[in-house]
Structure 1
Amino acid sequence: MPGSIRLPNALGEIVSYQLQPQRSIPTITGTLQSRTVFSAAHVVSDPLADMDPLHQSALDWELTLAYRRYLWSLGLSVAEAMDTAQRGMGLTWETSKELIRLSVREAQAVGGKIACGAGTDHLSAGPTVTIADVERAYEEQVAYIEGLGGQVILMASRALARCAQSPEDYMRVYGKILSQVSQPVILHWLGDMFDPNLKGYWGHEDLGQAMEVCLQIIHEYQGKIDGIKISLLDAEKEIEMRRRLPESVRMYTGDDFNYPSLIKGDEQGYSHALLGIFDAIAPVAAASIQAMDHGNLSLYDELLDPTVELSRHIFQKPTFAYKTGIVFMAYLNGHQPHFRMVGGAEGARSIVHLSKLFVLADQAGLLRDSELAMKRMRNALILAGIE
């Protein structure tokens, strides 16, 4: 029988929790077919690097790449150097370049699908930045990724959000970059709940008006666009936009609250996926898509629905701190031997938050080894002064 562990709750009490019997997750066989599914992958920091963690980033390259091999082994695709990897939130562009180079090489070696984030994070989003500066910054990062043979995810730009005066500035920048890319890219519309610096993206704070600008760009450059990932945590807005995309352009859901229904779709279409939560729930995510491939939608629901409460907990406000929960899941499941993060982000969530995460992960059948998970949960509790 699984053991029990004493955990703090939101009332300040320490209560006993009995772990559930291990849940069986179907083994993945073959490739996933009915949806294109990207997991935005986290990075494993190097806890022994002697550096200033607020201004420098150092990774454990072997463990970071090993996790990508794990995702590929499940049939998932990897979205590299995105916000889940703490891009622009601890991970510098210089370290991101090496991460992208090594991951693209690894993908080519194992036959894994990968797409990589190109942004402007090496450009300061200060008051003197210009639209021309933003264009050059995008061009540099796009050229680097395409030079390695990688597909580009065109990330939202803090610098552009800072200096743009109108929707026309967004049309100018995206038009110039899209006209130059050598293969179709994935656009990324990241809501300000994930990054407050992106408030008013596309030139409007109103989501409906912003969507009109984004759709205008997509329709004009549809031959250069594979799809768009939107991370707005608004299922209705995603469905509305999905129905208005050109036939050749995919919707990749970035909605970590409503992904099961958005991926399943309706009579008018469905979303593919590019999700941070698929890093934490990778085995179940892959198994659910395989179930869909086999036409077994009841198994799809049975596998994926129990993960939603965990995802909503991990992505609760402040949403940008979700990376802490993603890495804590990797620590609990033995993918890395420590719970340290780039920029010290392991401290971004409380021990009460992490304790509830542990419970929800267990209830969703996502703890691979309950004894190891309990041992590591206890390590976190001890650091919080809970013996």
Structure 2
Amino acid sequence: MVQSLILPKAGGELYTYTPSEKPAFKVEKGKSFEKRTAFSAAHVVCDPMADADPLNNAQIDWQATMEYRHYLWSLGFGVAEAMDTSQRGMGLSWESAKELIRRSIPEARSVGGRIACGTGTDQLTPSPDLTLEQVEQAYMEQCEFVEGEGGQIIMMSSRALAACAKSPEDYERVYGKVLGSVSQPVILHWLGDMFDPNLKGYWGYEDLDKATEVCLKVIQDNAAKIDGVKISLLDKDREIDIRNRLPEGVKVYTGDDFNYPELIKGDENGYSDALLGIFDAIAPAAAAGLQALDEGNIERYHDILDKTVPLARHIFQHPTFAYKTGVVFMAYLNGHQSHFRMIGGAEGSRSIIHLSDLFVMADEAGLLEDPEMAVARMRPVFEQAGVKQGVQTS
């Protein structure tokens, strides 16, 4: 029997909650999705036993980190490596990202899994005094590294470029120069400032209508070097507008962690492929839903994925950049890592109320893979926060 938990609500009220024992999602392992390309941005597992400063020099548990990537590949996902989900630029340095990429690409190759890797300019400290040449060189260094290792490039938004660009033309210049240097089509990533406040005014405008026009011009001018663009603006109408205006052959990879079921299903004009951080947290449900879509079972697709949206919206609530805490907490609850620790000490970025509500929403979506284990792992988290637990069973 699954034990009950004493959980806190906003305002300090406590209540008793007993998880359900819903059957696990039926997913055919080792099968790629047929109708959509789907990447899961993957988190990293820190080493809690490393004798290092967790804020500035946190160490990665490489075995657990690679095992989680194999789990995602086994469910049919590609892995989007060294992105913001892995705390890139928010605890994960470029030097650590290089080692992560260097290790992950051969692991992907060993199982025939797809992988694409984030490139940016995080060797540089953002400053208005930087030159465009410095930004270009930083981007090209990272792109050359990823291609040299045999990976596909995801060209992430640059804090350094946002800090020093004086006009939309500066963005057009930098992207044109970098894209002209790569050998294979890349995935561009427009990351909104809700995910990273340092990217406010990207593409030269705070007005998103104007910024969209610059982004589209960059894509149109460099279409032969672009596989697709990941849109992370949490604005489904804007994503659909961009999707409808892209050059032929250029995909949209949705990064909308609020509206992904609708965007992936698509409409009469097209659909979005996916490159989502939330897939890390809801991987079994997402895989089951995408397999239902492959089978043409739209009702089952929505029945599965629509139930995950409240959890996704909770994990990605303001401040959105703290979503990584919820992603790692889900991995801890489901036994994919032995602890709830994060690089940079980011496990403290969400409240105990937030984690309590996350647990309930995960249960309601059928995403506690072993409810008994999840309860056992919740208990010390709440005891440490001063929420004493009983021993009730149901």
Same fold per superposition (TM over 0.5): yes
Hey, what's the Cα distance between the residues in 2 that align with 1:166 and 1:10? 45
Partner of 1:14: 14
Partner of 1:270: 271
Q: Is the 8 A contact 2:21 2:371 kept in 1?
A: no
SS, match of residue 38 in structure 1: strand
SS, match of residue 317 in structure 1: coil
Higher alpha-carbon deviation: 45-54 or 106-115: 45-54
* CA deviation profile, 1:223-251 (whole Å, cap 9, x unmatched): 10000001000000000000001120000
Deviation at 1:131, TM superposition (A): 0.9
SS, match of residue 215 in structure 1: helix
Deviation at 1:180, TM superposition (A): 1.0
**Letter of the aligned partner of 1:3 in structure 2?**
Q
Deviation at 1:23, TM superposition (A): 3.2
Q: Is the 8 A contact 1:56 1:92 kept in 2?
A: no
Partner of 2:69: 68
List gaps (5 residues or longer) in structure 1. Answer: none
Partner of 1:4: 4
* CA deviation profile, 1:262-282 (whole Å, cap 9, x unmatched): 000000000000000000000
RMSD over aligned Cα atoms: 0.9
Hey, what's the Cα distance between the residues in 2 that align with 1:256 and 1:27? 22
Deviation at 1:50, TM superposition (A): 1.4
Higher alpha-carbon deviation: 25-34 or 10-19: 25-34
Hey, what's the Cα distance between the residues in 1 that align with 2:341 and 2:24? 30
Partner of 1:174: 175
**Letter of the aligned partner of 1:50 in structure 2?**
D
**Letter of the aligned partner of 1:325 in structure 2?**
G
* CA deviation profile, 1:145-195 (whole Å, cap 9, x unmatched): 000010000000000000000000000000001111110000000000000
**Letter of the aligned partner of 1:197 in structure 2?**
N
**Letter of the aligned partner of 1:9 in structure 2?**
K
Deviation at 1:53, TM superposition (A): 2.1
Hey, what's the Cα distance between the residues in 2 that align with 1:384 and 1:122? 37
SS, match of residue 310 in structure 1: helix
Partner of 1:160: 161
Does 2:356 match 1:338? no
Partner of 1:358: 359
Partner of 2:233: 232
Hey, what's the Cα distance between the residues in 2 that align with 1:51 and 1:343? 11
Q: Is the 8 A contact 2:20 2:371 kept in 1?
A: no
Q: Which stretches of structure 1, 4 residues or more, deviate above 3 A after TM superposition? A: none
Q: Is the 8 A contact 1:7 1:355 kept in 2?
A: yes
Hey, what's the Cα distance between the residues in 1 that align with 2:25 and 2:325? 25
List gaps (5 residues or longer) in structure 2. Answer: 389-394
State the identity as a percent: 65
Deviation at 1:14, TM superposition (A): 0.9
Deviation at 1:52, TM superposition (A): 1.9
**Letter of the aligned partner of 1:59 in structure 2?**
I
Hey, what's the Cα distance between the residues in 2 that align with 1:50 and 1:203? 43
Hey, what's the Cα distance between the residues in 2 that align with 1:165 and 1:57? 35
SS, match of residue 34 in structure 2: coil
Q: Is the 8 A contact 1:161 1:201 kept in 2?
A: yes
TM-score by length of 2: 0.97
* CA deviation profile, 1:297-341 (whole Å, cap 9, x unmatched): 011011100000000000000000000000000000000000000
SS, match of residue 56 in structure 2: coil
SS, match of residue 267 in structure 1: coil
Hey, what's the Cα distance between the residues in 1 that align with 2:313 and 2:365? 13
Q: Is the 8 A contact 1:42 1:327 kept in 2?
A: yes
Does 2:27 match 1:27? yes
| Mapping for residues 1-387 of structure 1, pairs under 5 Å | 1-29=1-29, 30-387=31-388
Deviation at 1:107, TM superposition (A): 0.5
Deviation at 1:285, TM superposition (A): 0.6
Partner of 2:391: none
Deviation at 1:24, TM superposition (A): 3.6
**Letter of the aligned partner of 2:36 in structure 1?**
R
Deviation at 1:54, TM superposition (A): 2.0
**Letter of the aligned partner of 1:177 in structure 2?**
V
Deviation at 1:372, TM superposition (A): 0.7
Hey, what's the Cα distance between the residues in 1 that align with 2:57 and 2:165? 29
Deviation at 1:112, TM superposition (A): 0.4
Q: Is the 8 A contact 2:24 2:369 kept in 1?
A: no
Q: Is the 8 A contact 1:57 1:95 kept in 2?
A: no
Hey, what's the Cα distance between the residues in 2 that align with 1:52 and 1:166? 39
TM-score by length of 1: 0.99
Hey, what's the Cα distance between the residues in 1 that align with 2:204 and 2:23? 47
Deviation at 1:19, TM superposition (A): 1.2
Hey, what's the Cα distance between the residues in 2 that align with 1:108 and 1:82? 19
Q: Is the 8 A contact 1:57 1:92 kept in 2?
A: no
Deviation at 1:379, TM superposition (A): 1.2
**Letter of the aligned partner of 2:357 in structure 1?**
K
Deviation at 1:130, TM superposition (A): 1.3
Q: Is the 8 A contact 2:27 2:287 kept in 1?
A: no
Deviation at 1:22, TM superposition (A): 1.6
SS, match of residue 269 in structure 1: coil
Q: Is the 8 A contact 1:186 1:227 kept in 2?
A: yes
